[in-house]
Amino acid sequence: MTTSNGVWSVTPDRAVLIPAGVWHEHRIFGNTRVHALELTDIAAVERDVDVPSVFAASGLVRALQMELTEARIPVALQREAKALLSGLVAIAPRTGIRLPNPRDRRLARVCAMVEADLGQNMPLSILSNAVNLSERSLSRLFRIVRGDVSTVAQLGAGISCIGRAP
């Protein structure tokens, strides 16, 4: 999922909370079902936040999402079900991969390569060679931008990528 603040990778065992009014776009790959709910009427939902959060989606969270989006919960109980869901979201561990939009042209190029085919496992060696850097230098550049070495390995595995420079 992409916003003006970056790119978030949401794997099948996770869900994303997008604050009201935040522009976003989705790219979905493979056989996927999406369950989208509006929780703006629930007090437990964070307000005045402009960045999405990706969190671990427990079995109960997934079941509530499906039941609410498929209208299988009686109307009289929907508010309580949404309140329970938002409470579970509030305490769920934030586990998503968020990468900021790169300003460095080399990182933008690496991102474009990964975005071209997110289903392909692209080794770090190929990514670093494409931008004339050693694997270590590319890792260091990611660390500077993100502060996290593991992000490079995840990117190289085709799990996620950084959004293009604005």
- Span 62-94, pLDDT tens digits: 999 999 999 999 999 998 998 898 888 888 888
Single pTM value for the model: 0.58
Q: Which residues contact 39 (CB under 8 A, 6 or more apart)?
A: 17, 45, 82, 85, 86
Instruction: Please tell me what DSSP assigns to residue 102.
Output: P
Question: Please, are residues 67 and 73 in contact by the beta-carbon 8 Å criterion?
Answer: yes
Q: Which residues contact 163 (CB under 8 A, 6 or more apart)?
A: 2, 6, 7, 99, 100, 101, 102, 111
Say yes or no to pLDDT of 9 above 70.
yes
Question: Please, are residues 126 and 65 in contact by the beta-carbon 8 Å criterion?
Answer: no
Say yes or no to pLDDT of 5 above 80.
no
Say yes or no to pLDDT of 149 above 70.
no
- For residue 24, give the nearest of 137, 150, 163, 165 by alpha carbon: 163
Helix (H, G, I), strand (E, B) or coil at 139: helix
- Span 104-125, pLDDT tens digits: 889 888 877 877 776 677 888 9
Say yes or no to pLDDT of 158 above 50.
no
Say yes or no to pLDDT of 22 above 80.
yes
% of the chain beyond a pLDDT of 70: 77
Query: Residue ranges per domain, the chain?
Result: 2-97, 100-156
- Span 34-70, pLDDT tens digits: 888 887 766 555 655 677 888 888 899 899 999 999 9
